[in-house]
Amino acid sequence: MAAVWRFYRNHWKKLTFGGVAVAFLGRYLNNQHQENLVRREFCDIAQEYGKQPLHCMGQTRKVVVFLNPAACKGQARKKFEKNAVPLLHLAGLGVTIIEVRISHDNQREFQI
Protein backbone atom coordinates (compact mmCIF):
# COMPACT_ATOMS: atom_id res chain seq x y z
CA MET A 1 0.00 0.00 0.00
CA ALA A 2 2.88 2.33 0.74
CA ALA A 3 4.30 1.71 -2.73
CA VAL A 4 1.00 2.70 -4.34
CA TRP A 5 0.80 5.88 -2.27
CA ARG A 6 4.41 6.73 -3.13
CA PHE A 7 3.74 6.14 -6.85
CA TYR A 8 0.66 8.37 -6.73
CA ARG A 9 2.54 11.07 -4.83
CA ASN A 10 5.43 11.05 -7.32
CA HIS A 11 3.31 10.88 -10.51
CA TRP A 12 0.08 12.68 -9.60
CA LYS A 13 0.07 14.89 -12.71
CA LYS A 14 0.41 11.91 -15.04
CA LEU A 15 -2.29 9.96 -13.22
CA THR A 16 -4.66 12.94 -13.22
CA PHE A 17 -4.10 13.56 -16.92
CA GLY A 18 -4.61 9.86 -17.67
CA GLY A 19 -7.83 9.77 -15.66
CA VAL A 20 -9.24 12.81 -17.43
CA ALA A 21 -8.21 11.40 -20.83
CA VAL A 22 -9.88 8.06 -20.07
CA ALA A 23 -13.05 9.85 -18.91
CA PHE A 24 -13.26 11.91 -22.11
CA LEU A 25 -12.55 8.86 -24.27
CA GLY A 26 -15.25 6.89 -22.48
CA ARG A 27 -17.75 9.70 -22.96
CA TYR A 28 -16.89 10.02 -26.67
CA LEU A 29 -17.22 6.27 -27.26
CA ASN A 30 -20.52 6.17 -25.36
CA ASN A 31 -21.91 9.03 -27.49
CA GLN A 32 -20.82 7.26 -30.68
CA HIS A 33 -22.47 4.04 -29.52
CA GLN A 34 -25.73 5.84 -28.66
CA GLU A 35 -25.76 7.59 -32.06
CA ASN A 36 -25.25 4.25 -33.81
CA LEU A 37 -28.15 2.70 -31.87
CA VAL A 38 -30.46 5.58 -32.80
CA ARG A 39 -29.31 5.41 -36.43
CA ARG A 40 -29.99 1.65 -36.52
CA GLU A 41 -33.48 2.19 -35.09
CA PHE A 42 -34.32 4.78 -37.74
CA CYS A 43 -32.89 2.51 -40.46
CA ASP A 44 -35.21 -0.30 -39.38
CA ILE A 45 -38.21 2.04 -39.59
CA ALA A 46 -37.13 3.36 -43.00
CA GLN A 47 -36.59 -0.16 -44.29
CA GLU A 48 -40.16 -1.11 -43.35
CA TYR A 49 -41.40 1.95 -45.24
CA GLY A 50 -39.27 0.99 -48.24
CA LYS A 51 -40.70 -2.54 -48.33
CA GLN A 52 -44.21 -1.24 -49.01
CA PRO A 53 -45.23 -2.08 -52.59
CA LEU A 54 -45.71 0.64 -55.18
CA HIS A 55 -48.45 0.75 -57.77
CA CYS A 56 -47.15 -0.64 -61.06
CA MET A 57 -48.21 2.45 -63.03
CA GLY A 58 -47.48 4.93 -60.25
CA GLN A 59 -44.52 7.21 -60.08
CA THR A 60 -41.56 6.37 -57.93
CA ARG A 61 -41.10 8.34 -54.75
CA LYS A 62 -38.59 11.16 -55.07
CA VAL A 63 -37.25 13.84 -52.79
CA VAL A 64 -35.27 17.00 -53.53
CA VAL A 65 -32.98 18.27 -50.78
CA PHE A 66 -31.61 21.80 -50.72
CA LEU A 67 -28.35 21.58 -48.82
CA ASN A 68 -26.44 24.56 -47.47
CA PRO A 69 -22.82 23.36 -47.22
CA ALA A 70 -21.90 26.25 -44.91
CA ALA A 71 -24.31 25.09 -42.21
CA CYS A 72 -23.10 23.27 -39.09
CA LYS A 73 -19.69 24.89 -39.35
CA GLY A 74 -19.11 23.35 -42.79
CA GLN A 75 -20.05 19.83 -41.65
CA ALA A 76 -23.58 19.81 -43.14
CA ARG A 77 -22.82 17.66 -46.19
CA LYS A 78 -20.84 15.13 -44.17
CA LYS A 79 -23.56 14.82 -41.53
CA PHE A 80 -26.31 14.66 -44.15
CA GLU A 81 -24.56 11.89 -46.08
CA LYS A 82 -23.87 9.95 -42.89
CA ASN A 83 -27.29 10.26 -41.27
CA ALA A 84 -30.03 11.14 -43.76
CA VAL A 85 -29.04 9.71 -47.16
CA PRO A 86 -28.98 6.05 -46.02
CA LEU A 87 -32.43 6.50 -44.47
CA LEU A 88 -33.84 7.99 -47.65
CA HIS A 89 -32.37 5.20 -49.78
CA LEU A 90 -33.68 2.51 -47.43
CA ALA A 91 -37.12 4.09 -47.66
CA GLY A 92 -36.97 3.67 -51.43
CA LEU A 93 -36.80 7.35 -52.25
CA GLY A 94 -34.88 8.81 -55.14
CA VAL A 95 -32.68 11.55 -53.73
CA THR A 96 -31.62 14.69 -55.58
CA ILE A 97 -29.24 16.95 -53.67
CA ILE A 98 -28.97 20.60 -54.67
CA GLU A 99 -26.23 22.56 -52.96
CA VAL A 100 -27.33 26.12 -52.33
CA ARG A 101 -24.76 28.86 -52.05
CA ILE A 102 -26.56 31.87 -50.61
CA SER A 103 -24.94 35.24 -50.24
CA HIS A 104 -26.45 37.72 -47.82
CA ASP A 105 -27.93 39.70 -50.74
CA ASN A 106 -29.80 36.69 -52.14
CA GLN A 107 -30.91 35.38 -48.76
CA ARG A 108 -34.12 37.44 -48.78
CA GLU A 109 -35.36 35.60 -51.88
CA PHE A 110 -35.10 32.17 -50.22
CA GLN A 111 -36.94 33.04 -47.02
CA ILE A 112 -40.22 31.21 -46.54
Residue 27's pLDDT band (boundaries 50, 70, 90)? Answer: very high
| Domain range annotation of the chain | 2-110
Percent of the chain with pLDDT over 70: 90
Residue 26's pLDDT band (boundaries 50, 70, 90)? Answer: very high
Mean pLDDT, the chain, as a whole number?
Answer: 85
The pTM for the full model equals 0.65
Q: Following DSSP, what letter does each residue of the chain receive, concatenated?
A: -HHHHHHHHHSHHHHHHHHHHHHHHHHHHHHHHHHHHHHHHHHHHHHHHHTSPPPTTSPPPEEEEEE-TTTGGGTHHHHHHHHHHHHHHHTT-EEEEEE----TTTGGGG--
Tens of pLDDT along 80-90? 888 899 899 88
Q: What's the confidence (pLDDT) of residue 93?
A: 87
